Chain A
């Protein structure tokens, strides 16, 4: 399946890009998507995960066509 990945803010700078398109097997979690998109880096402990613009956790099962985002704690307002 194909999944769209996005990175934001300091994580985007650390990754050197704002996202990627990941091709992965039919059964995968957000953590699996991170591993593939990051080239095997460990998921930093404070990173937040969103699937299709809703907060979730790294164990969330991802479906084909999902948008999976990884970003640091939010600091708006």
Chain B
């Protein structure tokens, strides 16, 4: 599973198509029957306030380590062929993608469940922090919204 944490803006659909074409298809020709994806995008509102921008801080090293552990757990729990996890850090504007999670498997059950697991585990365990820019100044997001 490829994991990238970077300040470079994401192009989720291009990245997914390229990864499937260049990595998944050559390694597993004819073997994958399911790909499940999640794309998280920055909203321009949160908790009733207009949000103009966001800064995403992370803990370099620990972020990659925790994401790797999450990927290992997913591959141990479900039958997966490959995966892709991309996460932005740094300055973002509304409508920009923040996160991409994708997994490929033979059957949809594994793909759906593993994709959901990876995303929820990322939300609760990967050391990222969001600071929102509002008209009135900036504030740190104190907790994530409920995933289930």
Give A residues with C-beta under 8 Å from B. Answer: 6, 8-10, 50, 53-55, 69, 71-77
Pick 19 A–B contacts, CB within 8 A, sort by A. A8-B59, A8-B127, A9-B131, A9-B140, A10-B140, A55-B125, A69-B59, A73-B143, A74-B127, A74-B128, A74-B144, A75-B130, A76-B87, A76-B99, A76-B122, A76-B123, A76-B126, A77-B98, A77-B99
Residues of A near B56 (CB, < 8 A) are 76
Q: Is the interface of B mostly helix, strand, loop or mixed?
A: mixed
Specify which of A6, A10, A50, A55 is in contact with B129 (CB 8 Å cutoff): A10
A5 to B17 Cα, complex, angstroms:
41
B129 engages A77 (CB within 8 Å): no
Residue of A nearest to B65 (CB): A53
Interface residue tally for chain B (C-beta within 8 Å): 28
